[in-house]
Structure 1
């Protein structure tokens, strides 16, 4: 698939903008999905992804063909997400306030599932997202890239611009903190049977 990405990049650089559209279609869902977890809002994630694709299009001539296109694109998106977070912090005071204002997308639209199952699944996803939002951004980003994106430690280090040891440490600490936060959240929940 990497060779296909390179072919599309070369076509784009030769003036075929539809080829870049294929790259967008190939990676937009994956990129938006990760950004939703990082930013806590589908709308912010979509905006940041759009900004990242635009920036990637403008900077496509600087792409090194030995690198993965998605890793390069994600680095652009990550930088845009950090900038977006700073703006949200200044404007709203916290990521949680922004998340509460924008709402939540349904977790599962499969009509064959019982409504109570959908509600429980949505509540669990909301609970994990709330817990993720309580982690320090460096911990949250490292954990999301490892667990949700499936990136290797060296890829995460390249995206975040830090040593592999730092990435390993952040992921370890993020897992411990996330476990503690989720345990506290489940202890507070009233039992329903």
Structure 2
């Protein structure tokens, strides 16, 4: 069953063989999680959104029409969940900012690092890229993640995002330009 096409697994699941959905989860969980980490910028939040997306996909599996790839449909569900989570986070962060202003309290980073210099340098660079990626407008970041991290074709990205192909190409081009500029700026600031 593990090598069965997605549509076969979907049909089996709809026929009552719910373990077939487990195969779909195994097939796409790492890919979806990895993409979501880059979209939302938080591993914990990406994990929560991925779980919610799979649960929602299971509940709504009968509405999958097969007009696009299953992963495209699943990612769209996850993207909608990420947008909802971002709205909720903005409301919460507003109250955190208000508390910070009222009390002057700053969050404390309790993590310690015992990694060698090279590993620390690599981690710093990865963090720099993540911060620059997180600063991109959401529509640019999402398109870029789908292209570069998920290695999707422009047509698939257009289908997931529900926008014309030219818009996808434009967003990815602008995202690359903006990311390059932000990284150059950050690297110059380090020197």
CA separation in 1, counterparts of 2:19 and 2:58?
12
Deviations 1:49-92 (A, max 9, x none): 11110110011111123531111111111111111111112211
Mapping 1:73-92, distance limit 5 Å: 73-92=74-93
* Bigger relative contact order, structure 1 or 2 (CA pairs below 8 A, ≥6 apart): 2
Equivalent in the alignment of 1:123: 124
- Number of aligned positions between the proteins: 172
- CA RMSD in angstroms, aligned pairs only: 1.9
CA separation in 2, counterparts of 1:84 and 1:72?
19
Gaps of 5+ in 2: 95-106, 110-114
Equivalent in the alignment of 1:72: 73
Report the more deviating stretch, 114-123 or 33-42.
114-123
Equivalent in the alignment of 2:145: 144
CA separation in 2, counterparts of 1:123 and 1:49?
26
Call closer, same or farther: CA 1:144–1:181 in 2, change over 3 Å: same
Equivalent in the alignment of 1:32: 33
* TM-score between both structures, scaled by the size of structure 1: 0.83
Equivalent in the alignment of 2:18: 17
* TM-score between both structures, scaled by the size of structure 2: 0.84
Mapping 1:1-193, distance limit 5 Å: 4-93=5-94, 115-190=116-191
CA separation in 1, counterparts of 2:74 and 2:132?
27
TM-aligned CA deviation for residue 117 of structure 1? 3.0
* C-alpha contact (below 8 Å) 1:63/1:72 kept by paired residues: yes
Call closer, same or farther: CA 1:128–1:140 in 2, change over 3 Å: same
CA separation in 1, counterparts of 2:181 and 2:134?
14
- Which structure has the greater CA radius of gyration? 2
* C-alpha contact (below 8 Å) 1:2/1:68 kept by paired residues: no
CA separation in 1, counterparts of 2:140 and 2:10?
33
Report the more deviating stretch, 34-43 or 154-163.
154-163
